[in-house]
């Protein structure tokens, strides 16, 4: 029997068209979840060592908060226009080298 090794995986996280309000909800939820991940990561690093280097999660939280603000600003310009917004979000998971 031959063993097949899968080297990467693709996940269609979001795909479709949305009203601006729906798009804002989807994007905000995804980004907030990632922000919460980094907050929990930072907290766990500090549990045993209050001097732990939290530069990475701190920086990433700031980047994601800016991305959230930028996304909201982009979407807000279309709220009254009646257009629909297309969102495509695919995650690719692969082995780190």
Q: What is the pLDDT of residues 5-24, one digit of tens each?
A: 888 999 999 999 999 999 99
Q: Indicate the angle between helix axes 20-47 and 55-76, nearest 10 degrees.
A: 170
What residue segments make up the domains of the chain, in order of their start? 20-83
> For the whole model, what pTM was predicted?
0.84
Q: Distance between CA 9 and CA 92 in Å, rounded?
A: 6
Nearest to 23 by CA among 95, 62, 76: 76
pLDDT at position 34 is 97
Q: Is residue 50 predicted with pLDDT exceeding 90?
A: no
Q: Distance between CA 76 and CA 24 in Å, rounded?
A: 8
Confidence of residue 32 (pLDDT cuts 50, 70, 90): very high
Q: Distance between CA 34 and CA 4 in Å, rounded?
A: 32
pLDDT at position 6 is 81
């Amino acid at each position: 029997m031959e063993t097949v090794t899968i080297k990467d995986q693709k996940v269609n996280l979001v795909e479709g068209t949305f009203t601006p309000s729906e798009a804002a909800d989807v994007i905000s939820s995804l980004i907030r979840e990632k922000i919460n991940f980094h907050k929990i990561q930072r907290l766990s690093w500090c549990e045993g060592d209050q001097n732990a280097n939290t530069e990475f999660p701190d920086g990433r939280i700031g980047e994601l908060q800016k991305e959230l603000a930028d996304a909201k600003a982009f979407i807000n310009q279309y709220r009254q226009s009646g257009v629909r917004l297309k969102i495509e979000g695919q995650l690719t998971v692969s082995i780190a080298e």
